């Protein structure tokens, strides 16, 4: 049985699900308890004093706060519920990571090949259509699967139930493989969660009063795919905003592929003006954000290409110096080149007592606890000068931004 994402597709007059409809035209905003919890943990000092003084403020939506896949710290990513939660936390920009199905329809998924960890597909009849169907753990071998949106038609995709992004590598059954949720997350908000197409995300985000930052995900299939080229893919993403009548000034299309960004700049200059180059230079051998000689392109060269926004991960923008977190060479050079900076992803790392892991790697010796989410955020906002921060729990960024008038 096909399970609709929205009661009607984006054709003519639409009706959002009652859950989303009740939050249209600006949901009631709330910080919840987490920002205050983090503020209370800060050591005494100027930052804590300032943030404590804002505890009675009224939450306001801000484009400085960007919902990363919605609010996936606790909600299944790229679902209606996750994005409504992010909007309720004041995220002024929401993200749909865009990939495509076998019939070349655009849907919201973090990767084309993540259905085996973000949905129940391996425990359904559609599991047999996966690029690599589920195989159980046996001996020294972990359980495994690879299921792509391109393995399914849109109609088949709609029948899946989303879940928290996880898998149990020790599983001997498909049902067991659906487990594995990190202990700092929860499955409390999984039941009944709704997947979305990209077009449906546009309608939902617009109804919530938020702007848009779609990311064109790298295909897992060889391109062109059944005649569908990379340029066709990049253009279709933009075309869906045009079809919805969205002003280009409200859209920040993103890609790790610089060629996608350059395509938008050339073919769709109104949208390309705000295209965001997601920097994955860290995968380049010898790359160092503190040493410009190791960079594939200088910040000035990116600007000359027409790029106006970059989005490196948190750690690329900061370094440790004399016991303090300070801007990296990359951050300094980006501002000198007049590039807007957005960064990712706050509150994705779980508890920070162990140094923060991948997202904090350049300053891990200075990371002692969860309050350092705010410590780093303060440096990014005031010293690096970022214009937006992706977060898995946008309320924290919203609270900070409201307090500092961002």
Distance CA(351)–CA(398), nearest Å, equals 20
Tell me the average pLDDT of the chain. 94
CATH code, 365: 3.20.20.190
d(CA 263, CA 281): 19
pLDDT tens-digit series, residues 330-368: 999 999 999 999 999 999 999 999 899 999 999 999 999
Looking at residue 386, its pLDDT comes to: 98
* 12 pLDDT higher than 80: no
- Taking residues 308-313, report their average pLDDT: 98
Domains identified in the chain, total number: 1
User: In the structure encoding, which two tokens stand for residue 58, read together?
Assistant: 């009224």
More confident residue, 24 or 279: 279
Integer Cα distance of 373 and 375 in angstroms: 6
Separation CA 192–CA 318 (nearest Å) = 40
pLDDT of residue 27: 75
Q: Is residue 69 part of a domain?
A: yes
Ranges 11-15, 273-277, 317-321, 380-384: which has the least confidence = 11-15
Q: Is residue 139 part of a domain?
A: no
382-393 pLDDT, tens digit per residue, is: 999 999 999 999
Residue 26: its pLDDT value, please? Answer: 64
Burial class (CB in 10 A: 0-12, 13-18, 19+), 41: middle
Write out pLDDT tens, residues 31-79.
999 999 999 999 999 999 999 999 999 999 999 999 999 999 999 999 9
Q: Is residue 90 included in any domain, yes or no?
A: yes
Distance CA 344, CA 93 (A): 13
Give the torsion through C-alpha atoms of 36, 79, 275, 153, to 10 deg.
Answer: 170
pLDDT of residue 19: 46
At 173-203, the pLDDT tens digits run 999 999 999 999 999 999 999 999 999 999 9
Q: 187: which strand partners?
A: none
Q: Is the pLDDT of residue 23 over 50?
A: no
Q: What is the 3-state secondary structure (H, E, C) of the chain?
A: CCCCCCCCCCCCCCCCCHHHHCCCCCCCCCCCCHHHHHHHHCCCCHHHHHHHCCCCCCCCCEEEEEECCCCCCCCCCCCHHHHHHHHHCCEEEECCEEEECCCCCEEECCCCCCHHHHECHHHCHHHHHCCEEEECCECCECCEEECCHHHCCHHHHHCCCECCCCCCCCCCCHHHHCCCCCCCCCCCCCCCCCCCEHHHHHHHHHHCCCEECCEECCCCCCCCECCECHHHHHHHHHHHHHHCCCCHHHECCEECCHHHHHHHHHHCHHHHCCCEEECCHHHCCCCCCCCHHHCCCCHHHHHHCCCCEEECEHHHHEEEECCEEEECHHHHHHHHCCCEEEEEEECCCCCCCCCCHHHHHHHHHHCCCCCHHHHHHHHHHHHHCCCEEEECCCHHHHHHHHHCCC
The answer to whether the predicted template modeling score (pTM) of the entire model surpasses 0.85 is yes
Phi-psi domain of 297 (left: phi exceeds 0; alpha: psi -120 through 50; beta: other): beta
Dmax over CA atoms of the chain, in Å, equals 61
Please indicate, yes or no, if residue 114 is contained in any of the structural domains.
no
Q: Give the integer Cα–Cα distance in Å for 4 and 16.
A: 11
pLDDT score recorded for residue 354: 87
Judge whether 48 lies within some domain. yes
Mean pLDDT, rounded, for 120-139: 98
Between strands 276-278 and 254-255, the pairing is parallel
- For 385-402, what is the mean pLDDT? 98
* Average pLDDT of the residues in 282-296: 96
Report the percentage of the chain scoring pLDDT > 70: 94
- Residue 130 located in a structural domain: no
- Reply yes or no on whether the pLDDT at 257 is more than 70: yes
pLDDT of the residue at 14: 35
> CA-CA distance, 130 to 126, in Å (whole number)?
7
Residue-level pLDDT at 141: 97
Question: What are the pLDDT digits (tens) for 198-230?
Answer: 999 999 999 999 999 999 999 999 999 999 999
Q: Is residue 330 part of a domain?
A: yes
Q: Which of 321, 313, 303 is nearest to 344 (CA)?
A: 313
Could you list the residue range(s) of the whole structural domain that residue 58 is in?
Answer: 18-104+192-403
Burial level of 10, CB count in 10 A (0-12/13-18/19+)?
A: middle
Of 237, 245, 239, whose CA–CA distance to 214 is shortest?
237
Residue 357 falls inside a structural domain: yes
Could you tell me if 104 and 147 are in contact, meaning their C-beta atoms sit under 8 angstroms apart? no
Average pLDDT of the segment spanning 83-101: 98
Find out whether 125 and 152 touch, Cβ atoms under 8 Å: no
Put residue 20 in one of left, alpha, beta given phi > 0 → left and psi -120 to 50 → alpha: alpha
């Amino acid at each position: 049985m096909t399970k609709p994402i929205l009661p009607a597709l984006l054709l003519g007059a639409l009706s959002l699900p009652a859950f989303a409809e009740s939050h249209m035209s600006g949901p009631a905003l709330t910080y919840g308890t987490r920002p205050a919890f983090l503020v209370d943990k800060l050591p005494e000092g100027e930052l804590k004093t300032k943030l404590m003084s804002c505890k009675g403020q009224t939450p306001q939506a801000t484009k400085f706060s960007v919902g990363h896949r919605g609010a996936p710290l606790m909600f299944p990513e790229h679902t209606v519920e996750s994005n409504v939660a992010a909007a309720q936390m004041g995220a002024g920009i929401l993200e749909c990571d865009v990939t495509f199905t076998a019939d070349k329809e655009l849907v919201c998924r973090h990767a084309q090949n993540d259905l085996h960890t973000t949905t129940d597909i391996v425990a359904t009849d559609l599991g047999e259509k996966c690029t690599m169907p589920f195989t159980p753990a046996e001996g020294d071998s972990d359980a495994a699967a690879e299921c792509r949106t391109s393995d399914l038609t849109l109609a088949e995709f709609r029948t899946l139930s989303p879940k928290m992004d996880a898998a149990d590598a020790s599983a001997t059954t498909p049902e067991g493989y659906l487990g594995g949720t990190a202990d700092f997350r929860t499955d409390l908000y999984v039941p009944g969660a709704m997947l979305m197409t990209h077009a449906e995300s546009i309608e939902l985000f617009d109804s919530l009063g938020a702007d848009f930052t779609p990311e064109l995900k790298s295909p897992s299939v060889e391109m062109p795919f059944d005649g569908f080229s990379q340029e066709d893919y990049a253009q279709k993403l933009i075309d869906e905003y045009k079809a919805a009548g969205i002003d280009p000034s409200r859209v920040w299309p993103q890609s790790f592929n610089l060629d996608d960004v350059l395509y938008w700049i050339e073919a769709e200059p109104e949208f390309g003006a705000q295209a965001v180059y997601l920097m994955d230079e860290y995968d380049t051998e010898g790359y160092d954000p503190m040493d410009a000689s190791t960079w594939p392109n200088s910040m000035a060269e990116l600007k000359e290409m027409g790029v106006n926004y970059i989005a490196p991960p948190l750690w690329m923008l900061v370094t440790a110096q004399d016991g303090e977190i300070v801007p990296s060479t990359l951050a300094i050079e980006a501002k000198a080149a007049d590039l807007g900076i957005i960064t990712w992803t706050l509150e994705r790392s779980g508890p920070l007592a162990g140094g923060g892991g991948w997202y904090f790697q350049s300053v891990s010796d200075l990371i002692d606890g969860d309050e350092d989410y705010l410590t780093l955020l303060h440096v990014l906002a005031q010293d690096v000068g970022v214009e937006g921060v992706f977060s898995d729990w946008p309320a924290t960024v919203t609270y900070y931004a409201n307090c500092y008038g961002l």
